[in-house]
Amino acid sequence: MALTIYDISKKAGVSIATVSRVLNGSDSVKASTREKVLSVIEKYDYTPNAYARGMGLHSLRTVGLLCADSSDLYLAKAVYYLEQELHANGYESLLCCTGYELEDRQSYIKLILSKKVDSLILVGSHYVSNIEKENNYIRDAAKQVPVMLLNASYNCPNVYCTLCNDYASTFEATSSLIRAGIDDILYLYDSNSYSGTKKLSGYKAAMKSYKLADYAPFVNFYGGRTDQIESITNFIQDIADRGTTFHGVVASDDQLAVGAIKYAQKNGLRIPEDLSIIGYNNSMLTACCQPELTSVDNRLETMTHQLVQTLLRVLSGEEMPAESVFSGKLIKRSTTP
């Protein structure tokens, strides 16, 4: 059986209260006593029981990290940054890969709350198809702990949002192609998420502002797994085969854009002369393809940093802004003119 605070107090010749004070860094312990206790702790390699501690402290310094799929290129990075930042501040992460089904997400949240996490971080925006319901259970969760949203916005007490202006970024990405003389621009997206709808609006607004409002045939939703490049390529091939012609592609993530590159290569199209392509997230994939992919950097590392800092301050009782919005940046590489 593991050592308890009683064992340590006995070995150090003090009371458990004193050991506890040393553990919690109280300043009302004589230096010599502290030394003695610390040396005993060191010697016997004692670590306090986190659950007993949680009962006293009402916190286990653990947060729930929810995402649909932590193996997704983008979400994996988000999870990684968050975990690092949290750990650096003394918090651990309970990872939950909820999948995309609303009910699974909901039951996961209940489960995690029962583990008495100090906060809930929802990584990747929530899904618009059920936005009412999703918002409902976020609101319920927020009654218990602060809820942090990454890449989503929901105005609700105790919910804090950190996001990137995906509308503006996609507007800019689309506009840059239009300015280069391309007016038949395929918009490929993959998720009905909060940020997904923002991106779509950005694309539409850009098309509209250049009087290219009849963009309807160019908007296409890919419903498969974005890690299966081949099926993305087939998806685009289908679009082309059905008679839609396009000389530009704006995609909601890099995987879709890579699918477009492969499509071009299979059809002997030159990039960017015959087809210009812009991805999103500025992931490592941008460097894996040839030519290298122009992509929108949506400031993931900056956002995750901000999110955790906000959380820490909220937990320490500070009043914090409910929303922090950053600006994305178009990183030009070789798939655009």
Partner DNA sequence: GCTGTAAATGTAAGTGCTTACAGCTCCTAT
Partner DNA sequence: ATAGGAGCTGTAAGCACTTACATTTACAGC
Q: Which residues bind a second copy (CB under 8 A)?
A: 2, 47-52, 54-55, 60, 62, 65, 69-71, 73, 76-77, 79-81, 83-84, 87, 92-97, 108, 110-116, 144, 227-230, 255, 258, 261-262, 265, 284-285, 287-290
What does 28 interact with, of DNA, a second copy, none (CB < 5 to 8 A by kind)? DNA
95 belongs to the binding site for DNA (CB under 7 A)? no
Burial of 149-173, coded b for 16+ CB within 10 Å and e otherwise, reads: bbbbbbebebbbbbbbbbbebbbbb
Give the Cβ contact number of residue 288 at 10 Å: 12
Please report how close the Cβ of residue 215 comes to a second copy at its closest, in angstroms: 28
53 belongs to the binding site for DNA (CB under 7 A)? yes
User: Nearest 5°: phi and psi at 289?
Assistant: -100, 170
Task: Report the run of H or E that residue 175 belongs to, with start and end.
Answer: helix 166-179
The number of residues that bind DNA (CB under 7 A) is 30
State how far the Cα of 4 lies from the Cα of 16, in Å rounded to an integer: 10
Angle at which helix 16-23 crosses helix 31-44, to 10 degrees, equals: 90
What does 129 interact with, of DNA, a second copy, none (CB < 5 to 8 A by kind)? none
Please report how close the Cβ of residue 138 comes to DNA at its closest, in angstroms: 23
97 belongs to the binding site for DNA (CB under 7 A)? no
Catalogue the E-assigned strands of 71-214: 92-97, 119-123, 147-150, 159-164, 185-189
Residue closer to DNA, measured from CB, 35 or 227: 35
In the structure encoding, which two tokens stand for residue 260, read together?
A: 């477009």
Can you tell me which of 39, 49, 71, 89 binds DNA, judged by CB under 7 A?
Answer: 49
Listed residue (222, 195, 217, 216) closest to 280, CA to CA: 195
Can you tell me which of 35, 39, 44, 57 binds DNA, judged by CB under 7 A?
Answer: 57
23 belongs to the binding site for DNA (CB under 7 A)? yes
24 belongs to the binding site for DNA (CB under 7 A)? yes
Mode of pairing for the β-strands spanning 329-331 and 294-297? antiparallel
Please report how close the Cβ of residue 91 comes to DNA at its closest, in angstroms: 16
113 belongs to the binding site for DNA (CB under 7 A)? no
Please report how close the Cβ of residue 49 comes to DNA at its closest, in angstroms: 3
Residue closer to DNA, measured from CB, 12 or 185: 12
Please report how close the Cβ of residue 113 comes to DNA at its closest, in angstroms: 12
Rounded (10°) CA dihedral 255, 258, 260, 261: 180
4 belongs to the binding site for DNA (CB under 7 A)? yes
Listed residue (243, 260, 242, 263) closest to 251, CA to CA: 260
Name the site residues for DNA (rule: CB under 7 A). Answer: 1-6, 13-21, 23-24, 28-30, 32-33, 48-49, 51-53, 55-57
